[in-house]
Amino acid sequence: MKIEQIYTGCLAQGAYYIVSENEAAIIDPLREVKPYLDRLEKDNVTLKYIFETHFHADFVSGHLDLSKKTDAPIVYGPTAQPEFEAIIAEDNQIFEIGNIKIKVLHTPGHTMESTTYLLIDENGVETAIFTGDTLFLGDVGRPDLAQKAGSVTQEDLAGILYESLHNKILPLDDSITVYPAHGAGSACGKNMQKETVDILGNQKRTNYALNQPDKESFIKEVLDGLTAPPKYFGMNVAMNKGGYDSLDTVMNRGLNPVSVEDFESFAEETGALILDTRSPADFHKGFIPNAINIGLKGDFAPWVGSLIVDVKHPLLLVADEGTEEEVITRLSRVGFDHVLGYLKGGFEAWKNSTKEIDEIKRISPAEFAEAFNENSKVIDVRKIGEYSAEHIDNAYSRPLDTISDWVSTIDDSEHFFLHCAGGYRSMIAASILNSHGIRNFTEIEGGFNGIKKTEKFPVSDFVCQSKTYK
């Protein structure tokens, strides 16, 4: 028997490849299925089942493409109602792969169809659980995604999750290995550990959610501090439940080189958003007017999902040459399937033409220290938790993920400085501000991490809740 965790850092997502004898199973596959097909061919095994723990919200699964290319059936837990052919398993149903077994444990709460898969090895020993978003390391799945107006509340779901954990998972042996669907960085939980594999006994000891004295305490603690989910989550659920274009189709459509001469008119005709995926260091020196920068080398896909929101919005890419296929693949993971093409020759081709170029003013932390005075306005686009821990005195907290709510409140007549933790998110914010005609600002390279190293700024761990930007 072999169990392989295939972890994707950008999405903090774990898929699982299980082999026994000449058969295999895959749990929660990502959108691009070639890596799985390659593994199957290398191991000379047949894919028998594709198990889905639930209808994922934070990424588009590769279940449909994988099933079409292997003829392996897709398996969901009880109550799932996909709009395509699938096996809807019963609670405690057994599936055989080679000489091992996978037992279905219906564990609703994160979603109502959420299911944990219990692996029983060749010797009949319960060895591992694949918990999806039911149980994470250090946390449990957020219970607010499957709310239904007037019928099921997040409190109801949290209570259901409590029962699932206590009736189905906690009675299992401490030695069982826990394989969750996500790790630290995922928006599907709030308190995840950096590790991606653990034993159940350790989670029983260390996971705050598993150590609550009663159901009421569990509900309160799990819901406490839960921020609103990214807006694209619902669209990803719909795609996972209803179906989507093959990645081959998406790739063929997106790998369309558009010349410098035609790029602007194509964008206007289609209403496409120009997405520049180069690094912040390159972007600020020159970019196509109104382009939005979300660098490929960062939490690219989640930020695209959080900020562009509409997965059907047409996109035109400006990318480093040779990265176009990777960009389209990573966009497809979160359901953005409508890339219409990319700038042929990259930004260099644009720069070598007579076309207009825009810039973002960027300075180093040392230069910021020279320019800063008591009257300087500073906007911090880190998460509220980061800001609360430590921030420049009198800086204004304006998280990037809520920029659509606050961009219209910015007074462009008064200069301000803009920073995040390291410069990735602040350049995203800078590009969005710029596209709204807000240009009277300077972005700080290296962000708060660089600013702090100068030791020239008063910092505070005090959060004034009433602090607002005017």
Q: What is the pLDDT of residues 144-168, one digit of tens each?
A: 998 876 689 999 999 999 999 999 9
3-class state of residue 396 by DSSP = strand
Contact 131, 180 (CB under 8 A): yes
Angle at 406 between CA 279 and CA 274, to 5 degrees: 35
Report pLDDT digits (tens) over 123-152: 999 999 999 999 999 999 999 998 876 689
CATH code for residues 362-460: 3.40.250.10
Q: Rounded CA gap, 340 and 272, in Å?
A: 8
Question: Is the pLDDT assigned to residue 466 strictly greater than 90?
Answer: no
Enumerate the H helices of 402-446 as residue ranges.
Answer: 403-406, 424-435
Confidence of residue 461 (pLDDT cuts 50, 70, 90): low
CB neighbourhood size of 317 (10 A): 26
CATH architecture group of domain 245-351: 3-Layer(aba) Sandwich (3.40)
Interaxial angle between packed helices 447-454 and 424-435, expressed in degrees from 0 to 180 and rounded to the nearest 10: 120
Q: What is the pLDDT of residue 465?
A: 38
Residue 468 has pLDDT above 70, yes or no: no
Q: Is the dihedral of CA 126, 132, 136, 139 positive or negative?
A: negative
CA 166 to chain centre: 28
Architecture of domain 2-230: 4-Layer Sandwich (3.60)
Is 334 a residue whose pLDDT tops 70? yes
Within the chain, all domains assigned CATH 3.40.250.10 are found at 245-351, 362-460
Give the percent of the chain with pLDDT over 70. Answer: 97
pLDDT band at 459 (very low <50, low <70, confident <90, very high): confident
38-55 tens-digit pLDDT: 999 999 999 999 999 999
- What's the gap between Cα 157 and its chain centre? 22
Residue 241 pLDDT exceeds 80: yes
Residue 7, pLDDT score: 93
Cα 102 to Cα 113: distance, rounded to the nearest angstrom: 17
Task: Give me the chain's average pLDDT, please.
Answer: 94
- pLDDT of residue 196 exceeding 80: yes
pTM of this structure: 0.90
**Per-residue pLDDT tens digits for 78-114:** 999 999 999 999 999 999 999 999 999 999 999 999 9
Residue 423 has pLDDT above 90, yes or no: yes
Cα-based distances in Å from 382 to 168, 370, 396, 466 = 38, 23, 10, 17
Fill in the amino acid letter for 106.
H
Residues of the chain with CATH 3.60.15.10: 2-230
